[in-house]
Amino acid sequence: MAECILETEKMVVLQAQLGDWDNLNHLLVCKESKKAVIVDPFFSEYWLDVCSSNGWELEQVWLTHSHWDHSKGIDGLKDKQVWVHRDESLRGWNGPSNREWVNSANTSVIQKIGSLNFEAHCTPGHTPGHMTFIGEGVVISGDCMFLGRCGRTDLFGGDIMSQRHSLKHLRTRLSLVPGNWIVLPGHQYELSDGTNPTFITVESLLSDNEALKALDDDETWNSLEFLSFDDSLAEKARREKARVDVE
């Protein structure tokens, strides 16, 4: 069930945890125009029904990145503006997106939905063209940055140094926004204090996120256990890289 986690004079934000990987989907609605954007949809029909029942027009889809669990729902949304960064093609993405961001790493462009304005930041590391959206009181960080840590960098197209640069970029940017803005990640993971929220404030993120706190020390950064895993996904990534290297 989608939950309203934020409502301001300009915007409504709904959050729902969907799919086998418990993805956090986020719907942003401009109250003035009644236009909406869904970020990383897992089920297209689910969000079309939510919008229809509330009188909202689902106009756009924004992908933080092109991993299957974040892009599955766009098959049913091909008639919308489906946005993804061009560099996701470096890990084999070929659609069905129909709009592209082309800004370079650790820069941003303005992305609009109705009268709402967001900064669309290219934050590679988890994937080559990962995006993070900042504006209107929210930060949608996908798998680049979770609430207590960051995304892994050992999947095909991932890069540990790019991830570190992206997190430094985001730390600098977020230090300039109000501390009560909320951070919305792509997945829910338990924090070090034992709590397991689906969003926290920017102030809490900047003070407690383990990955952000490790950025300025090489030894601490390289010792972070969540940057890579010895699992089937890592093995698949190694095979994909070997295949590309041969070609």
Using H for helix, E for strand and C for coil, what is the string for 55-107?
A: CCEEEEEECCCCCHHHHHHHHHCCCCEEEEEHHHHHHCCCCCCCEEECCCCCC
pLDDT digits 0-9 by tens, 2-34: 999 999 999 999 999 999 899 999 999 999 999
Residues 6+ apart with CB under 8 A from 195: none
Coil, strand or helix at 29: strand
Distances (CA, A) of 23 to 42, 46, 55, 192: 7, 14, 25, 21
Q: What is the pLDDT of residues 64-114, one digit of tens each?
A: 999 999 999 999 999 999 999 999 999 999 999 999 999 999 999 999 999
Domain ranges of the chain: 3-246
> In Å, how far are 4, 127, 129, 188, 219 from 18, measured between CA atoms?
15, 21, 23, 11, 36
pLDDT at 247: 65
Q: Domain 3-246, what fold?
A: Metallo-beta-lactamase; Chain A (3.60.15)
Q: Can you give the pTM of this predicted structure?
A: 0.96
